[in-house]
Structure 1
Amino acid sequence: MFDFNTLRRDWLANPRADILAGIVVALALIPEAIGFSIIAGVDPRVGLYASVAIAIVISFTGGRTGMISAATAAVAVLVVPLVRDHGVEYLFAATILMGIIQIIAGLLRLDLLMQFVSRSVITGFVNALAILIFMAQLPQLIGMGWETYAMVLAGLAIIYGFPRLTKAVPSPLVAILLLSAISIALVLPVNTVGDMGKLPQGLPSFVWPDVPLTLETLGIILPYALTMAAVGLLESMLTAQIVDDMTETDSNKRRECQGQGIANMASALVGGMGGCAMIGQSVINITSGGRGRLSTFVSGAFLLFLLAVLGPYVGQVPMPALVAVMIMVSIGTFSWNSIPNLRRHPWTSSAVMLTTVVVVVATHDLAQGVLAGVLLSGIFFAGKVQRMFAVQRNASADGQAVTYTVSGQIFFASVDRFARAFEAEEAAQKVLIDMTAAHFWDISAVAALDKVVARLRRGGSEVDTIGYNRASADIIDRFALHDKTGFEIGAVPH
C-alpha cells in the first residue's frame, strides 16, 4: 500500500543534500569499480555496471536509507578462480544464485546473527577498514611527482576548509571539480580515472548467463555463490550498523538482506558482478549530507549518466582528487577513541578489537577478521561466565548431613569445576544440593549433575536436590538420567 509519509521520509526529506551527496559518491565509485574489476579479472564495465545496478535497485529494496551498495573488493577477490577457470558467464550465474541465497537468508532471519557480533568486533572492523582504505591509496602516492602530492594536499585542504565558508555544497564535490579544472587547464602530469581502465560507452543491456542449466554447473557455482552471499551479507550488516550509529537511527536488517539479494540478481542480469554495502562510500554519503534513499539512487543514476554521456570528461578526473576524498574517508572512518580506550577498556575487549584489526589487515579479508573477533569474544565470554560460579559446603554437627549451595551458571565451560566440588564427599549419609541460585544451561550441565548424583548414591549417600528455576527444571526433566525434578514453583526436594 502506498504510504506518502514513508515516501516523504525516505525520499523527499532533504532532496538537495541527497542529490549532491549522491553525485560525490558516483564520482568516487568509478575508480574503485574499475579496480575491483581488475581484481576479479573481468572487463571494467562488469564492475561499473554492477555499481550502477546495485545502487539503483538497493535504493528501493534496501532496509538502511543513506547506505551505499555497489561492486566491492570483498566479493571481487572471491571470484578470481571462478572467472579464471570457467569464464565471466559463470560469474553472472553465480551472482544470480548469490542473490537467491541472500533472499532466503532474509526470509530465515539470519540477520539476527548480528546480535553475536560485539561492539569490540565492530570497532575492529571499522578500524581495519579505515586502514585498508588508506593502504589502497598508496599505489597512487608512491613514486609520483610533486604535482600529485600537491594536489592531494590541496584536496584535503578544500575538504576540511571549505565547510568553514559554507556547507551548502559538499566539500568533497568542490575538491573534485576544482582540482579537475586545474589539472585539465594546466595539463598536469598526474594519473587520471581514464588511466585506471577503459570506461564503457552506452547503456547496459539485459544479459542472461550463457551457461548450461545442469547439476554440473550448479556444482561449479554453488560454493562461490554461498561464499559471496555470506561475505556480502556480513559486510552489509556491519556497515548498516555503523550507519545506524552515525545517523542515530535504526534500520531494517531483514529487509536489507533481501534487498541485497534482489540488487545482486539485477546486477548479474545487466552484465555486472556481485557486490554489497560499502563503508567508505557510505561514509562519504553521510558526511556529504546524504540520508535518504534518494542519495543512494542518485549515486547509481548519476554514475550511469557519467558513463553514458560524460565518459571522456570523467576519464580526465585526476586521481589525486579522489585519493584526497578517500583519505578523508579513512580518517573519518577510523575510531580514534579506540586508541585511548585500549587502556580504559577491559583487556579482553581490547584484545578482541586488535585481533579483528590484525586479521583483516593481514588477510585483506573482512569475513576472516570478523570471524576471528567473534570467536575470541565467545571464548572470553565463556571464560568470564565460567568464573561466575561457586559451591559452598555446610555440614551438620555430627557430619552426617551436608548441604551444598550452588550459585552461578552451569554450562559446558563450568561443569568440571561443578563436578570437582563434590569429589571429596564420601562420609555423609544425607546430601542436599540447593540449586536456588544456580542455572543449568545445556546438556553438559545436566550430564555433570547426573554423574555427581550417581556417584554419591553409589557411595551410600541419600541425595536430594532442591530449588531449580523453571528453565533448569525443564532441561533436567528432559535429559537427566538419574534425577528428575518433579518441578513446582519453589524448592521441591525429591
Structure 2
Amino acid sequence: MEATNIINEIISGFTIALVLIPESIAFSLLLGFPPSVGLISTAIMSSITSLFGGCPTLISGATGAIATSLLGVKALYGTQYVFLTAIIGGFIQLLFGISGLYKYFSNISQPLMTGFLIALGVLIAKSQIKNFKYPNTENWFKDSDNYKLTGTLLFSLISLFIAVFGKFMYNLSYKTKSIKINIPGALSAIVLLSILYYIIPIKETIEIVGDRGGAKITNLAFNVPNVELTSANILKVLPFAVAMAITGLTESIFMVDDTSKQLKIISSPLIETLAQGVGNIISGLCGGFGGCVFVGLSKYNVENGSKTRLSSRATSLFFIALTLMFSSTINKIPMPAIIGIMIMIAFKTGTAKYDYLIKNFKSEWLIILLTASLGIYSESLALAIIVGFIVQQAIKYIKSI
C-alpha cells in the first residue's frame, strides 16, 4: 500500500471510531442498558469481523437494527434473556452459513431491500430524537433552560453541514513525495464543534458525550447469562433470536454484495455470515447484545477512500483504545457534533438504493412502501422483510393466474 492510502485508511478508522462511541451508547440506552453494554457489543463485533469477516472495509457493532430487534425480549423477560438471545441468534447465523441458507439473503429482491433500507434509515434518525430530551426522561429540552433546545438544534445543523461539505484534501510534502491526506467531513465536524464548544460560553446549553452515560468500557468479562437453559426458556427467546439473525444478515450481506461491486473485489458472504455468528455468540457471553454491519458507516468508510482491512481494523483498535484509555477526553465531545453526523449516516442508509427507487417506484411502489412503513411502525425490520416477501410472492402468484 502507498503511504497516502495507509494514512487515509487510518484517519477514516479513527473518525468512525469516534462516531461509534456515542452511537453504541445511544443504542444501549435505547434497550435500557448502561452505556458499557453497547460499548462491549461494538468492541467485540468490530474486532472479530475486522479480523475474520468476508469483506475488508465493513464496520460492525451495536446497530439500531439489532437493538430494535431485542426491545421485546428486554421488556418481557429482562436483561439476562437479551444476552441469551444474542447467543442463540449467533448460533442461528452459523446454521444459516453452514446450511447454505445465507445465499438467500443475497437474493432478497430490490424492492424489499429498498424498503428495508428506508426503514433502517428512518429508525437511525428517529434514535437521535432522544438527544433532544433530558436523560432518562421523556421531557424535551426547553429554551427557558439556557436555550437548550435551540442551541442543540443549531449546533446539530452546523455539524450536519460540516459533515456533508467539510471533507477536504491536505497535501503533505515529504522529501520528494507529496502525500494527499483525506480529511473526512465527520472528523472536521467533531473537531470544529469541539473547538466552538470550548471557546464560546455555551457549556450550559450544549450536552457532551459524558452527559449521556460516559464512554468507558466496564465489566468486560466472560459471563454465561444467568438463565436456566431449559427448552421453555429457549423457546421464549427463539422468535427474537430468529428476528435478530435475519435482520443482522440482511443488513450485513447486503453490504458485502454492495461493497464488492463498488470496489470491484471478490468478497465472501459465507465468511461474513460465520464471522457475524461468532461475534454475536462471544458478545452475548461477555455481557453484550451483539450487532451487525453498519450500512451508513461502512459506505462512509468507502467514501473516505478505504479499500482494505486496515480501515476496519483501525476502527476496532481506536474504538477499544478510546473507550479504555481516553474516555475522559471523548466524554468532552459535544453531543450535537455526533447528532449531525448520525443524521448524515441515516440519510446515506435510507438512500442507499436511491437510483433503484427513482427508476422503479411506479412499478414496485406497493412492496417498497409496505416494507418501509411496516419496518418503521413496528420497529421490527425482520417482520417487514418477511411480510413484504409474502405479499410480493402473493402478487406474483395472482399475476400468473
TM bracket (short chain): 0.7 to 0.9
| Structure 2 counterpart of 1:49, one-letter code | I
1:158 aligns with 2:162: yes
Could you say what the CA RMSD is over the residues aligned between the two structures, in angstroms?
Answer: 2.8
Partner of 2:15: 24
Deviations 1:71-115 (A, max 9, x none): 123222333454455543333333222222211210111111125
Partner of 1:171: 185
CA contact (8 A) 1:228 1:274 kept: no
| Structure 2 counterpart of 1:361, one-letter code | I
| Structure 2 counterpart of 1:175, one-letter code | A
CA contact (8 A) 2:94 2:277 kept: yes
Deviations 1:303-328 (A, max 9, x none): 11111111122111111111221222
Partner of 1:353: 368
CA contact (8 A) 1:235 1:366 kept: no
| Structure 2 counterpart of 1:156, one-letter code | L
- Distance, in Å, in 2 between the alignment partners of 1:377 and 1:85 is 32
Partner of 1:325: 341
The structure number with the bigger radius of gyration is 1
Within a 5 Å distance, the mapping from 1:215-254 to structure 2 comes to 215-254=231-270
CA, structure 1 residues 107+173, in 2 after alignment: closer, same or farther (shift >3 Å)?
same
Partner of 2:289: 273
- Distance, in Å, in 2 between the alignment partners of 1:84 and 1:355 is 26
- Distance, in Å, in 1 between the alignment partners of 2:182 and 2:372 is 36
Show structure 1 runs of 5+ residues with no match: 1-7, 387-413, 415-494
CA contact (8 A) 2:63 2:292 kept: yes
State the shift of 1:186 in Å: 2.8
Q: Which stretch shifts more, 256-265 or 190-199?
A: 190-199
Within a 5 Å distance, the mapping from 1:63-78 to structure 2 comes to 63-78=54-69
- Distance, in Å, in 2 between the alignment partners of 1:171 and 1:181 is 15
CA contact (8 A) 1:184 1:316 kept: no
Match of 1:295 among 311, 321, 330: 311
Deviations 1:214-255 (A, max 9, x none): 445434444433332232222322333343454444431111
SS state at 1:274 partner: coil
1:181 aligns with 2:172: no
| Structure 1 counterpart of 2:155, one-letter code | M
Partner of 1:422: none
| Structure 2 counterpart of 1:355, one-letter code | L
State the shift of 1:48 in Å: 0.8
State the shift of 1:356 in Å: 2.1
CA contact (8 A) 1:203 1:304 kept: no
- When normalised by structure 2's length, the TM-score is 0.83
Partner of 1:381: 396
Match of 1:94 among 85, 101, 104: 85
CA contact (8 A) 1:192 1:315 kept: yes
SS state at 2:61 partner: strand
CA contact (8 A) 2:167 2:188 kept: no
- Distance, in Å, in 2 between the alignment partners of 1:373 and 1:84 is 26
CA contact (8 A) 2:63 2:291 kept: yes
Of structures 1 and 2, the one with the larger relative CO (CA 8 A, separation 6+) is 2
State the shift of 1:203 in Å: 7.3
- Distance, in Å, in 2 between the alignment partners of 1:359 and 1:39 is 20
CA contact (8 A) 2:186 2:341 kept: yes
CA, structure 1 residues 120+146, in 2 after alignment: closer, same or farther (shift >3 Å)?
same
- Distance, in Å, in 1 between the alignment partners of 2:161 and 2:243 is 41
1:306 aligns with 2:310: no
- Distance, in Å, in 1 between the alignment partners of 2:296 and 2:361 is 29
1:284 aligns with 2:288: no
- Distance, in Å, in 2 between the alignment partners of 1:214 and 1:25 is 40
Aligned length: 374
Percentage identity across aligned positions?
A: 29
Partner of 1:405: none
CA, structure 1 residues 228+13, in 2 after alignment: closer, same or farther (shift >3 Å)?
farther
- Distance, in Å, in 2 between the alignment partners of 1:127 and 1:363 is 14
1:45 aligns with 2:48: no
SS state at 2:292 partner: strand
Q: Which stretch shifts more, 123-132 or 218-227?
A: 218-227
Deviations 1:269-319 (A, max 9, x none): 322112111212223322233332222222222111111111122111111
Partner of 2:277: 261
CA contact (8 A) 1:155 1:324 kept: yes
1:367 aligns with 2:367: no
Richer in helix (by share): 2
